[in-house]
Structure 1
Amino acid sequence: MTQERTALPTAECAPQQEAGSLTRSVRRGALWTAASAILLRFGNILVMAVVARLISPDELGIYALAIAVYGFVASLASWGVASAIGRSDLDADKLGPTVTTFALSGTCVVAGAMALLAGPVASAFEAPEAAGPIRILAVALAVQGIIAVPAAQIQRLFRQDVIFRANVVAFILSNTTLLGLATVINGAEAFAWSRVVGNGVVGVMIVLALEKRYRPGWHAQFVGPLLRFGIPVALGTLLSRFVLNIDYVIVGRETSTTDLGFYMLAFTICSWPTAALGAVMDQVALPAFSGARRDGRDLRETVYRAVRIVALVACPIAAFTCAFAYPLIEAVYGAKWLTAAPVVQVLALYGVLYVLGTLFDEMMIASGKTMTMFLVQATALVALVPTLIVGVRTGGLVGVGVGHILVVLVVTMPAYLIAMKATTGAGLGVALRAVSRPVAAALAAAGVALLVTEGLAHPLAKLAVGGMVGLVVYVAVAGPQLLQLFPDRLADQPILVAATAWPSSVAKRLGISTDNSCHNRT
């Protein structure tokens, strides 16, 4: 047991008779979170389709810079200690008051500094128009910090149904605000105010759903261990935010806010796998993996299953996005945004790699290896900045996307896999076996869909036919692995079994093995 786990108060082990409760809780929480993410993603696509016709690429570029600053600063708001409440192997009741004090004090300081320094920061980015949105987002940051501990409590309890309801209400109110303000004030400020409304609504609903709320308090014996745990988390998250958002800063400085607007749209589209899975991992992966460690489960198998589930969802989204980038942008956002299409095609792969890195981040935190997480992010950032500068100067916006992929493949992912091998025993071989079937299925689906839709001219027709054909092919190739994403009562339905099992039956008749489990291979 590490020093950090010895110093922080641990929770009692789960009773043996409840061995299956963790799996049920994880699956239930994941389904609620996935439903929320998918519903909101489709909703945001529809809203953005309207807003893209009301604002200019320049206004979207200004908001991109403001939201980048918000992402950097938000990493430090609660000093990273709120993650300790989300770990199911630690005693939240003993830690709660002290963590609440850290979260509230850190938020007040950081949000105030963000508001005061908005002007100089915007000028440093050569976009003084971003100062207003940055100040507005400081309010959103304050709200986010205030609810950091309640949100971690919801995460710990796998109460993602609360998050689902909160997100739905927040989506309606925040986007009503956005659409109402977009025709009255600058588009970047309209986006910023909608973020304030959304954070506020989610916060209120989370707090009201909790039966236990922690008041600020102070237990000196926990301060050192919390800081040793939390500061690497905060710094690692900050670095991950730099890795995720430094391209906005570089593109904004090297080109223009108009080009940055095109780039932000492309990056948003390619973040669809992150949107669909990032929320699940933020809410479920930390308590699930820490629970598996607490219960003495096979961590190698746990990593294999988690990577496979992520790949089953992320790979088809990325493949379809890459294959149908042009009709997708034209149909959804309008022809004036087609400049973003080549960037979308390149960044589609990055979306899959990034979401896998996010999963490994959560596993590092759950294992108490927060310094490892920090070192991985620091190494990635050192490599990323010069690579992106060279990329944008030699290849424009597409060069930035290529730079992202190179750094992840050469630096970030190998570092993660080495760390995961040392921590769980699951390294490159386990990861490759986990992603092999989803990758093959996604490539086959995208290829067949492109062939079938080659003669179609209308973008909506291409998307509709390509989507249906691709889905059929993907389900056929991915096979029974997809059933593991559903609850048992749905996975046993004859129509789902028939839709996913027939390729395996054909393969068996041909003498081809389809067993892709972790334990059956060395």
Structure 2
Amino acid sequence: MDTLKQQTARGVKWLVGASFIEKTLSLGTTVILARILSPSIFGLFALAFVAINGLNLFKSMGFDSALIQRKDDIDKAANTAFFIIPLLGCILFLILYITTPFIGKFFNNHDVVPVLRALGLIFIINCIGLVPKALLKKEMRFAKVAFSELIGALGFSVVAIFLALGGYGVWSLVGGYLFKTLILTCAIWYFSKWRPNWRFNIKIARQMFHFGKFVFLGSLAFFLRMNLDKIFIGRLLGVAVLGIYALAFNISNILVEYFSNKIDQVIFPAYSKKQNDDNALKRSYLDILKTVSFIALPLTFCVYLLRTELVQTIYGHKWIDVIPVIQILIWSGLFRIFTTSAGALFMAKGKPRYGFWLSSLQVLIFLILIAPFSKLFGIKGVAIVVTLAALIHVFLIMFLLKRLISMRITEMFLRIKVPFLATLMMSFVVLLARFLLANIFLTKGTNTSLLIILLSALASYIFFMVKFDRQFVMKIKTMLIGA
């Protein structure tokens, strides 16, 4: 195993492992908060983050990605970026502070105004740490990044739950997120050896902007793709419905939003180091696809088959309306398995515009279909459009990969064949276990029966994976334990 491959494996191990702990912590926190706070409070917070995430795209203008992709004059580029990025953060805070009344008017909800102004501090805090964070990623020091993010997640949980128990409502979420951002930024600076020397290079700034502009445009289109559904729901159906949708979306896309994104953070610098070797890029992409499928396929099918039991047991009866939305959105998360690391590959090959055009097409689909579908089918109509757009996105990704690195569609499907077959066998075990528990042992709807079904699913999936592809399972075990 070469050095780069070892570094990549360790990076995946640390970021995905930390992400698993972080997501488990986040899930536990969400369950506690969901039992304390109402759907309308979650909806208000989700509404605020539509605006926050929109402006968040401007926080670096792609300069941090350009720094990771760059091969020379790294220190000069880092100092140049450090002049620009924090300045952008301050400008974004001022823009948000001034425009919040108009945002509240657009959504017919003035409660969001003070929430947005408080959350605007995220821009200033976060931008201060982007350059050292990018350098840590470039140097493949992902353990430091992972540990920093884990500390931030723990900080959010402690502060948010403490404030929620104190009756602070939406401010418990706001306070938790601000504290998380502050702790994360401090930890990044603690672990980074780099310190600015306050030198600005206009030539390097132009070079980085040339690369970063398409990263930014792609991020802008990606933001619209990920938030237009929430904008329409918040505008047309209200914050309570948005709270239901936001939870359903998070459950349905849990793997893509957390684990796959962590893999992208690792694989972009790794792809960049071998950007001229198409065969190596293809092998890496297919390996990642199989690894993500190994985790995502069984979890996706389990959530789909057990959606009612999981929601009622974990979140409680007041969140029962998320179940039919999960039934649709879960497939959008499944389709996005195929897009994992594709954006990183496009950027490593110097084609960030591909991501921009792909996301722009999905935005166009949303603009055309979401309004009429939401009027006809309500929140489920929005979920249908999101899932349809995700499916189209997958086929376009496949076309571009074939054009860029000669990737055949059959290669992709063959690579996930074993996890898919093992998942089908596991699904049969889940259905059989549920039937037996409900009709023979008469334990339907109990926490014990759900636990038995989940353990049966885990045991059967591991059994069939070892049976069908023992070598791959051992490889995953080695990567997680010995990388």
Q: TM-score, normalised by structure 1?
A: 0.86
Q: Does the C-alpha gap of structure 1 residues 417 and 120 become closer, same or farther in structure 2, counting only changes over 3 Å?
A: same
Q: Does the C-alpha gap of structure 1 residues 37 and 138 become closer, same or farther in structure 2, counting only changes over 3 Å?
A: same
Q: How does 1:461-480 map to 2 (within 5 A)?
A: 461-478=448-465, 479-480=469-470
- Whole-angstrom distance in 1 between the partners of 2:473 and 2:342: 22
Partner-residue secondary structure (3-state), 2:63: coil
**What's 2:406 paired with?**
425
- Whole-angstrom distance in 2 between the partners of 1:255 and 1:336: 18
- Whole-angstrom distance in 1 between the partners of 2:202 and 2:297: 47
Q: Report the alpha carbon displacement of residue 273 of structure 1 after superposing the two structures with TM.
A: 0.7
Q: Report the alpha carbon displacement of residue 183 of structure 1 after superposing the two structures with TM.
A: 3.9
**What's 2:474 paired with?**
483
- Map Cα deviations across residues 233-255 of structure 1 (whole Å, 9 max, x no partner): 11111211111111111111221
**What's 1:444 paired with?**
425
- Map Cα deviations across residues 151-191 of structure 1 (whole Å, 9 max, x no partner): 11121122222123223322222222111222445533321
**What's 2:356 paired with?**
374
Contact 2:46–2:246 at 8 Å: present in 1 too?
yes
Matched, 1:383 2:374: no
- Whole-angstrom distance in 2 between the partners of 1:400 and 1:239: 18
- Map Cα deviations across residues 423-472 of structure 1 (whole Å, 9 max, x no partner): 22214222222233223322331232122123142342243122211112
Q: How does 1:146-165 map to 2 (within 5 A)?
A: 146-165=128-147
Contact 2:106–2:235 at 8 Å: present in 1 too?
no
Q: Report the alpha carbon displacement of residue 47 of structure 1 after superposing the two structures with TM.
A: 1.2
Counterpart of 2:477, as a letter, is F
Q: Does the C-alpha gap of structure 1 residues 76 and 353 become closer, same or farther in structure 2, counting only changes over 3 Å?
A: farther
- Whole-angstrom distance in 1 between the partners of 2:203 and 2:384: 48
Q: How does 1:224-263 map to 2 (within 5 A)?
A: 224-263=206-245
- Map Cα deviations across residues 29-64 of structure 1 (whole Å, 9 max, x no partner): 101111111111111111111111111111111111
Partner-residue secondary structure (3-state), 1:117: helix
Q: Report the alpha carbon displacement of residue 101 of structure 1 after superposing the two structures with TM.
A: 1.7
- Map Cα deviations across residues 229-286 of structure 1 (whole Å, 9 max, x no partner): 1011111112111111111111112212111111111111112112442342242021
Contact 1:441–1:474 at 8 Å: present in 2 too?
yes
Counterpart of 1:475, as a letter, is I
* Aligned residue-pair number: 473
Q: Does the C-alpha gap of structure 1 residues 152 and 282 become closer, same or farther in structure 2, counting only changes over 3 Å?
A: farther
Matched, 1:280 2:262: yes
- Map Cα deviations across residues 116-155 of structure 1 (whole Å, 9 max, x no partner): 2112112212222111221122111221222111111121
Q: Does the C-alpha gap of structure 1 residues 222 and 432 become closer, same or farther in structure 2, counting only changes over 3 Å?
A: same
Partner-residue secondary structure (3-state), 2:350: coil
Q: Does the C-alpha gap of structure 1 residues 489 and 147 become closer, same or farther in structure 2, counting only changes over 3 Å?
A: closer
Contact 2:156–2:180 at 8 Å: present in 1 too?
yes
Match of 1:397 among 357, 375, 379: 379
Q: Report the alpha carbon displacement of residue 219 of structure 1 after superposing the two structures with TM.
A: 1.2
- Whole-angstrom distance in 1 between the partners of 2:197 and 2:423: 49
**What's 1:137 paired with?**
119
Let me know the Cα RMSD of the aligned residues: 2.1
Matched, 1:331 2:313: yes
More divergent stretch after superposition (160-169 vs 77-86):
160-169
Q: Which consecutive unaligned segments of at least 5 residues does structure 2 have?
A: none
- Whole-angstrom distance in 1 between the partners of 2:277 and 2:217: 29
